[in-house]
Amino acid sequence: MSFLSVVAAISLVSLCHAGTVHISDCMRTNNQRNPENLVHVNTASANPFPVVIPGDVDIVGNLDLYKNLTGQLSMSVSIKRKVLGLWVPVPCVSNVGSCQYADLCDMLSSNFMENGVPNCPPQLVAEGLPCTCPIPAGHYAINHGHFTIPELSGVWSFLAKGDYQLRATLTDKSRNAQVACHSMDLSIGSKCSFFDCLFG
């Protein structure tokens, strides 16, 4: 599974909490759309929650893309983990964590293009969803997203059991203008041992 596939699955999962959406569009004021806004997530849910790694998760959700998604977009991701009651930033290590990505479309292409042809994850193909630029404006929904998240090790180990706050922003580099911002909460669990499962 590629880096972006794992990030996409975890990001989609992070949009929800036991059936209740816990995502905030930080470009909206009084629930009114900012005219600069490129994308807005409407609803999302996951089962199970907290997410168990390794394990399977079913994801349902939809979003609106207000303008064509093309080049000139940079992405900033901030991840904080709750440690002893404090929110501690997760550093960027090997492009994982609180990182800056200079070109979103290039990142999508490097992960999902093969011999010049899009090679999207099967979950997106089944829903008719694109995974490389350009992505036309429109309403996009995932209705039967079943993902298997593998056991994480090495640089992925920061995604161990815990509570996280994530914030992702997109910037139009041609105008140096923020065009998307979402913040979200995520809880990750782990498979329980025999006694943990019995006694919770």
Find where tokens 């992925």 sit.
Answer: 156
Identity (one letter) of the amino acid at 72?
Answer: Q
Given a contact cutoff of 8 angstroms between Cβ atoms, the answer to whether 150 and 2 are in contact is: no
Reported pTM = 0.79
Banded model confidence at residue 39, pLDDT cuts 50, 70, 90: very high
Question: Omega before 50 cis (within 30°)?
Answer: yes
Mean pLDDT of the 72-78 span: 94
Give the model's pLDDT for residue 150.
78
More confident residue, 189 or 129: 129
Fold of 3-199: Ganglioside M2 Activator Protein; Chain: A, (2.70.220)
Euclidean distance between CA atoms 184 and 11, whole angstroms: 9
Q: Convert the pLDDT of each residue in 154-196 to its tens digit.
A: 656 656 678 889 999 999 999 999 999 999 887 777 655 444 4
Q: Where are the domains of the chain?
A: 3-199
Euclidean distance between CA atoms 180 and 137, whole angstroms: 14
Give the model's pLDDT for residue 145.
84
Given a contact cutoff of 8 angstroms between Cβ atoms, the answer to whether 127 and 143 are in contact is: yes
More confident residue, 36 or 153: 36
Give the model's pLDDT for residue 5.
40
Banded model confidence at residue 59, pLDDT cuts 50, 70, 90: confident
